[in-house]
Amino acid sequence: MTDLRKEDRDRAGETAAAGGVAQPHDEGGHARHLAPHEQVDRATTGVPSDPAAFVGGSGQGDMALVYESGVELEARSQWGYAARRFLRHRLAMGGLMGMLFIFFVAIFANKIAPYPFDELDFNALRIGPTTEGKHYFGTDLLGRDFFSRVVYGLRTSVWVALFVTLLATVIGTTIGAIAGYFGGWVDNLLMRLTDLVLTLPLLAVLLVASIYLGQGKPFRVALILAALFWTGIARIVRGTFLSLREKEFVEAAKASGAGDARIIIRHMLPNAVGPIIVTATLIVAGAILTEAALSFLGFGIQPPNPALGQLINDGQSEGLKFWWMVTFPGIIIVFIALCINFIGDGLRDALDPTQRRLRD
Amino acid sequence: MLTYIIRRVLYSIPVLFAASFLIFAFVAIASDPLQFLRMQPRISQETLNKIVEREHLEEPIPVRYFYWLEEAVTNKFGSTLIGDRPIWPDLVRVMGNTAQLVIAAELIALLLAIFIGVYSAVRQYSAFDYSFTTVSFLGIATPVFWLALMLQVLVVNIFLNYDIRIFYISNLSSADPDNFLLDRIQHLALPVIVLAVASVAQYSRYMRAAMLEVVNSDYVRTARAKGLSERTVIMKHAFRNALIPLATVVALNLGTVLGGAVVTETVFSLDGMGRYFIRNLVEGDPYPVMAWLMITSVLIVFFNLVADVVYGYLDPRVRYD
């Protein structure tokens, strides 16, 4: 009960403090007074300025506003504008289609693959790509259908990358938010920790960790990757929080008695969502490439679980004459990384216009 | 500036200590360096005990860390645990090989990237710009080891089918080359190309972005308004300032790659830093691994510092106090 009232006060404080800045959550009353050109301005600036727009964002999508003069104008939330910018980004949409396709293959791997990934066939050793017997990508030295192995390998690699991203984002955001919000010695301690992780050569630490902590199981490999991938997000979240901390709406929230956790989660975090999503997207690509390199070097995911990098390693040890074993898994990796980078680019333009790369 | 540098150096010392202790503890807890010796029937338990005593393997890890530290400081990282081989000469050798590879690759990459970046920015949205944007996106998305393997597949199949040897795909030199320089180039060409491609993709994007920002700035418009030729405007006014961000990126990158292009060196079996590290890691010998990690970490810290100092020097608006 008291909590509800406090929330109301929080919001009232922010509305007053944020002054003339666009108030997306307030569209019902506020936007009505905006002249049409101000609506256009909001479309281009689009900096998330109000936390409530993200947290309590349910049910405030696009709505039509009818002016007294009878002109109908569509008002959008910040997310509406972001979604629009994203949908118009052609490369990003292409990347999204590509990734949906990849997810489709990963989810339905056992339906798509014509063979189990470990079925041996000694009558078909090392045959090149052919439609005969559905060996589209040929077979390997044990006669296992390489297309099926690539499909299952793709599934493993994609799940590992997604898991790494989820975990790294949670760790990075927590550390960055705490460091940025509290400042002082907490900030110092946490950022020195981040420096420590950054001082070490990434691949080397990964190799040391994976050789001693657990080669083989995809889950362990993912844990190790996540333990080193959170630094980028931590730095970005900390930077955002440091600047947000001085904003009036935070002061207002504090003044109205909101606790630290509440301010961090409900008021500040939503303002950092844009950069977090962009960085997280790029982590997916980084994780795919790094896991492939690890597995290729023989320190990552071990047989019998196929992974894309490890399949390339199989091909390499065959003496490079059987080109299909090296080529196909690699093309898939490039395709995934390319799609994700395109999506990341589109998301950056859509969500985080302040960090937009010079228009290209 | 000097105080800034000194402060940064002093400040990195505890970080390096902490990092080295963590890694040491990690390697020491998790690995058994004697596992390979134990498997050999000709090595008696007494010999093993002697090694254990000599290397203080029974002491607690913090104590062992200080033994290691003492060796590292007074005796150039000491000797390997397995085989008692001095570490420093090996390190010098592999560092030299890696330096050849990395410096050649980075120089080529820089020249290409600067040209591509400037040209794409000046002719923005031209066919040149679009094609190199596409290429660099591809370059960033391509795993280094796969590119290396594809080049190897190409060269190997040319050799097998047509008996023409353009490049070698492994090692640094042949056993008995007629022409040392040519032989070295044939060996280094592929790894250099692989490393350079990865760097060009990254650098040219930075260069293009920086150049675009500069070209659209007020002082360049002023230069044009004064009636200077386009060439002077681009080369004298815009280009120099656009190099600043790239200098930082290159310095940061150098710190990382000098530690050994682990993947490239492994694929091409080059006797460099990266391969040295991997080999010793697999053997479970903590001392060379530690030596390698310390050298690389120092390099990274050093080049981070260089990046900041160079940035402050090139851009007078940045001042460190």
Q: Which residues of A touch B23 (CB under 8 A)?
A: 200, 205, 208
Give the pLDDT score at A13.
38
Give the closest-approach CA distance of A15 to chain B in angstroms.
Answer: 36
Q: Is A331 helix (H, G, I), strand (E, B) or coil?
A: helix
Residue A44: the pLDDT is 39
Query: B297, A200: Cβ pair inside 8 Å?
Result: yes
The reported pLDDT for the residue numbered A168 is: 94
Mean pLDDT of chain B: 83
Record the tokens describing residue A115, joined without a space. 């063979």
HSE-up (13 A, CA, CB side) for residue B12? 18
For A194-260, the DSSP string reads HHHHHHS-HHHHHHHHHHHH-SB-HHHHHHHHHHHHTHHHHHHHHHHHHHHHTSHHHHHHHHTT--H
pLDDT of A17 reads: 38
Beta bridge partners of A63: A75
pLDDT at position B170 is: 75
The helix (H) or strand (E) run that includes residue A75 is strand A72-75
What span, in angstroms and rounded, lies between the C-alpha atoms of A109 and B2? 60
Question: Is the model more confident about B257 or about B30?
Answer: B257
Residue B252's pLDDT is what?
80
CA–CA dist B128, B121 (Å, integer)? 10
Phi, psi of A99 (to 5 degrees): -70, -35
**Tokens encoding A242:** 């440091």
pLDDT value of residue A43? 39
pLDDT of residue A273: 86
CA distance A120 to A29: 69
pLDDT at A32: 38
Mutate to test the interface with A, among B61, B134, B149, B258 (most CBs of A within 10 A): B149
Which pLDDT does position A172 carry in this prediction?
93
Inter-residue contact A180 to A239 (CB < 8 Å): yes
Q: Is B130 left (phi over 0), alpha (psi -120 to 50) or beta?
A: alpha
pLDDT value of position A173: 94
User: Across the interface, which of B29, B256, B263 has its CB nearest the CB of A201?
Assistant: B256
Chain A residues within 8 A of B16 when measuring between CB atoms: 199
Q: Helix or strand or coil: residue A267?
A: helix
d(CA A12, CA A268) in angstroms, rounded, equals 16
Q: How far is CA A144 from CA A106, A109, A124, A138, A307, in A?
A: 19, 16, 8, 9, 14
pLDDT at residue B52 greater than cutoff 60: yes
> CA B277, CA B270: separation in Å to the nearest integer?
12
| Count of alpha carbons within 13 angstroms of residue A178, beta-carbon side | 12
Nearest by CB to residue A316, choosing from B143, B149, B262, is: B149
Q: Contacts of residue B126 in chain A, CB cutoff 8 Å? A: none
Per CB-CB distance under 8 Å, the chain A contacts of B140 are: 337, 341
Give the pLDDT confidence of B114-135 residue by residue, as tens digits.
999 999 998 888 898 888 888 8
Burial of B14 (0-12, 13-18, 19+ CB in 10 A): exposed
Better-predicted residue by pLDDT, A22 or B69: B69
Cβ count near A53 (within 10 Å):
21
Cα dihedral sign, B145-B147-B153-B156: negative
* B24 Cα to chain A: minimum distance (Å): 11
* In the block, residue with structure tokens 């290159």: B250
Q: Which residue has the tokens 């353009």?
A: B166
* Predicted local confidence at residue B30, as pLDDT: 67
The per-residue pLDDT string of chain A (360 residues; one tens digit each, 9 = 90 and over) reads 344 444 444 444 333 333 333 334 433 334 334 444 434 433 333 344 444 443 433 344 445 555 556 666 666 677 777 888 888 888 888 999 999 999 998 888 887 777 777 777 666 666 777 767 677 777 777 777 788 888 888 998 999 999 999 999 999 999 999 999 998 899 888 888 887 777 777 777 777 777 776 666 788 888 888 988 898 899 889 988 988 888 899 889 989 988 888 999 888 888 888 888 888 988 999 899 988 988 888 888 877 778 888 888 887 777 677 778 888 888 999 999 999 999 988 888 787 655 444 443
Cα-Cα-Cα-Cα dihedral of B100, B101, B103, B107, to 10°? 130
Calculate how close chain B gets to A310, using CA atoms only, in Å: 11
**C-alpha neighbours within 13 Å on the C-beta side of residue A169:** 21
Q: Would you say B113 and B203 are in contact if contact means Cβ atoms under 8 Å apart?
A: yes
Token couple for A150: 């690539």
Those residues with Cβ within 8 angstroms of residue A118's Cβ, 6 or more apart along the chain or in another chain? A144, A304
B261 close to B277: Cβ distance less than 8 angstroms: no
Contact B237, B251 (CB under 8 A): no
pLDDT for residue A215 = 62
Across B305-315, average pLDDT: 82
Amino acid occupying residue B239 = F
- What pLDDT is stored for residue B198 in this prediction? 84
Token pair in block for residue B260: 């050994």
CB atoms within 10 A of CB A71: 9
For chain B, the C-alpha Rg in angstroms (whole number) is 24
* A232 Cα to chain B: minimum distance (Å): 15
For chain B, counts of helices (H) and of strands (E)? 14, 0
Which residues of chain B does A321 touch, with a Cβ-Cβ cutoff of 8 Å? 156-157, 160
Interchain proximity B156–A209, CB inside 8 Å: no
Give residue B109's pLDDT: 93
